[in-house]
Amino acid sequence: MRNIFFIVSFFLGIQFSNSQELKNQPKPFGPLPTQKQIDWQEMEFYAFIHFSLNTFTNKEWGYGDESLQLFNPTALDAQQWARTVKEAGMKGIILVAKHHDGFCLWPSVYTERSVKNSPWKQGKGDVVKELAEACRTYNLKLGLYLSPWDRSRADYGKPEYVTYFRNQLKELLTNYGDVFEMWFDGANGGDGYYGGANEIRKINTLEYYNWEETYKLIYKIAPETLVWGIGPSEARWIGNEEGYANKTNWSLLRQKDDLAGKVHYTDYMSGHEDGEKWVPGEADVSIRPGWFYHAVEDDKVRSLDELVDIYYNSIGRNATLLLNLPVDQRGLIHQNDIQRLKELVAVIKSDFKTELLAHTKTKADNVRANSSRFSAKNLIDGDKNTYWATDDEVIKASVEFQFKKPTAINRIVLQEYIKLGQRVKAFSVEAKVDGKWQTVANETTIGYKRILRMDRVIASAIRINILDAKASVLLSNIEAYNAPTFVKMPVIQRDRKGAITIKSEEASQIYYTLDGSIPSEKSNLYQGVFNCEKAVTIKAIARKEAEGIRSAVATVKYSASKENWKIIAVSSGDIQSAERIIDGNPETIWAFGNEKHPLPQEITIDMGSVKNIKGFSYLPQQLGNNLNLIANYEFFTSTDIKKWTKQSQGEFSNIKNNPIEQVKTFDSVKARYLRFVALSAIGSGETVSINEINVLEE
């Protein structure tokens, strides 16, 4: 009888304990993520693949009239794509299955404009299928991009096209296995081929596609697919194509306002503290200036410095990172891109090699219900499902980590338990150095993950202070690291007269070469400005002698200097200040055109002597709210200023979202005089600006 009493008491005790735990558990606060969104955010880093007819026409946006016979990669290998992505630690690949020109990388039964009518594999190929198989081989997730806009279709803008668009969605979501993300571009409506109409078609993006019905279709077929982009999406564009979120980054969005057209895209970089929907940010960026492969960009792969910054300013600011790897005409990721990716991976692995808080002594000034279930030890237990929590009324709190001996630190990783909402509005980090506390960081939001880069300190303890929160504090993880010193690449500049300046961080030596070879400590030591008027490839490294470490290689390729160039005519504006576009300084700007002098507007340049050129570049304005970007252009050359030949015309595709240097190539010609014509602008204005005009010499 007594045994029965003890057994009953034991189970009653367990029941009471469980009841207390449930009673003490924090309640959800504000909008919450779905499990699908949590799984997606935990991927953190994944790849974009842009590869299509544009790869063979050297365009960013196809017009829709390109010949299908051009698509004929000689060595397409989706296994190489997947292997590259896997080795970089990425978790998936999003393939551009159809871009704005309407060409489909799968044999769609709803159109003839697809791989089935190309020479590649005698029309029997299927790029989507090959990539899906490669993803399965390397245990990667597959995502797909399907452009809502189609510049090839005669029925674009009519109800029939929406049916066509949805039919293609069904094909992609049913024939290739699980799709982790469906990606819809925001570019919709404008000029196009449209089956031969060659006209501009405008639509109401939010109304035309009836996104709510389109989303219902997707979720019916593939409920685990996360939908990104236009409409009531589950993740948002980060508001730029440079791959960064703002320091303050809420996973919330006022989506009702957004769907009503009341939210400017620049808000996406920070989200909305008062947003009613959980819509986290995805930062997309290309490893090169453009999204599609262009041979002229082989030496313009983003620097290691840029990519490291991108990693910390996206994943480290509560966003995911979607890094584009353009596939070349062979059907392979270019070796230059792979090499830079390997360098990035090496830096990130080195930065986060040894975690330093796992064996520290922890203490918090508030623990929810004084329960061990919510103690500060949960922050360093390596379990994402446990967390430190404060009592309901406590929105300011501190947690401290004490080391056994003074420890060097320059990285802090923080994560909230987002299953119950994003809460922290402001926090600081303090380090105890030589017995005194000093503030080393003051920040705002945390979210799924926040990574801080700080100056190195030798600390006996670290303290995280939550200064303000929307509700009780719930943190699931805090880590600290001592990343190796990172030496930034030197900055190489050349002025109009050919004077070359190479700058680096203080206390660094700079070594350079002028013959295209990789510099070392045995190369030329930079000792001050020097002249080089001829076409040249300069490579340089910076070295911190005291620590014996050096930067990655900086590479700049120059044509002959512009010392003898002159502006000889402008259709409007001040001809004297127009010299800014040929001064070799990418930061000086010149604008022309206005209401009295509407577009088109032109400028004529004398290069001083006849040169063999094979293209030109237009560097648009980089900074400011109104960049006055040129949309369409013409480019002429002449040897005698009397007879002019048009060498190139067209559009600067995607320049609104990605205002990078626009490079256009053509067959090599002899020229002394150049005429650049701005035909139209992005937007309705009549003023356009130019930072720099350059030529590509043979």
Q: Please check the confidence at residue 8 and state whether its pLDDT lies above 90.
A: no
pLDDT at 5: 52
Give the pLDDT of residue 38.
98
Q: What is the mean pLDDT of residues 51-64?
A: 95
- Tokens 């041979």, residue? 295
Q: What's the pLDDT at 698?
A: 85
Q: What percent of the chain has pLDDT over 70?
A: 97
Q: Quick check: helix, strand or coil at residue 506?
A: coil
State pLDDT tens for residues 271-323.
Answer: 999 999 999 999 999 999 999 999 989 989 999 999 999 999 999 999 999 99
Q: How many CB atoms lie within 10 A of CB 142?
A: 23
The β-bridge relationship of strands 319-324 and 424-433 is unpaired
Give residue 6's pLDDT: 53
Whole-angstrom distance, CA of residue 412 vs CA of residue 406: 16
Model confidence band, residue 505 (pLDDT cutoffs 50, 70, 90): confident
Write out pLDDT tens, residues 403-445: 999 999 999 999 999 999 999 999 999 999 999 999 999 999 9
pLDDT of residue 24: 87
H or E stretch at 178:
none
pLDDT at 334: 98
CA angle centred on 294, ends 648 and 499, rounded to 5°: 80
Which residues have C-beta within 8 Å of that of residue 235, sequence separation ≥ 6?
A: 37, 40, 181, 226, 227, 228, 279, 280, 281, 282, 320
What is the predicted pLDDT for the residue at 20? 60
- Residue 687: is its pLDDT beyond 70? yes
Question: What is the Rg, in whole angstroms, of the alpha carbon atoms belonging to the chain?
Answer: 28
The pLDDT assigned to 11 comes to 52
Q: Is the pLDDT of residue 22 over 80?
A: no
Q: DSSP characters for 523-564?
A: SEEP-S-EE--S-EEEEEEEEETTTTEE-PPEEEEE-S--TT
Q: Quick one: pLDDT at residue 452?
A: 98
Could you tell me the end-to-end alpha-carbon distance of the chain, in angstroms, rounded to an integer? 101
Using CA atoms, how far apart are residues 55 and 290, in angstroms rounded to an integer?
11
Q: What is the 3-state secondary structure (H, E, C) of 423-472?
A: CEEEEEEEEEECCEEEEEEEECCCCCCEEEEEEEEEEEEEEEEEEEECCC
Sign of the Cα pseudo-torsion (348, 349, 353, 357, in order): positive
pLDDT digits (tens, 9 = 90+) for 530-566: 999 998 999 999 999 888 899 999 999 888 899 999 9
Q: Which tokens belong to 114?
A: 């697809």
Residue 685 burial (CB count, 10 A): 15
Phi, psi of 199 (to 5 degrees): -145, 175
E strands along 171-233, which residues? 181-183, 190-192, 199-201, 226-228
- What's phi and psi for 204, nearest 5 deg? -90, 105
The C-alpha atoms of residue 226 and residue 179 are separated, in whole angstroms, by 8
pLDDT, tens only, 40-54: 999 999 999 999 999
Q: What is the mean pLDDT of the chain?
A: 94
Work out whether strand 181-183 and strand 141-146 pair parallel, antiparallel, or are unpaired: parallel
Parallel, antiparallel or unpaired: strands 424-433 and 450-469:
antiparallel
Q: What are the residues whose beta carbons fall under 8 Å from the beta carbon of 634, sequence distance 6 or more?
A: 600, 646, 648, 649, 676, 677, 679
Give the chain's length: 698
Q: What is the dihedral of CA 300, 304, 305, 311, to 10 degrees?
A: 110
* pLDDT(19) > 70: no
3-state helix/strand/coil string of 319-334: EEEEEECCECCCCCEC
Q: What is the pLDDT of residues 324-347, one digit of tens each?
A: 999 999 999 999 999 999 999 999
Residue 52 φ then ψ, to 5°: -170, -160
For 474-487, how does the pLDDT look when each residue is reduced to its tens digit (9 = 90+)? 999 999 999 999 99
Name the more confident of 186 and 134. 134
Could you read off the pLDDT of 333-388 as tens digits, one per residue? 999 999 999 999 999 999 999 999 999 999 999 999 999 999 999 999 999 999 99
Phi, psi of 8 (to 5 degrees): -60, -45
The secondary element (H helix, E strand) that includes residue 355 is none
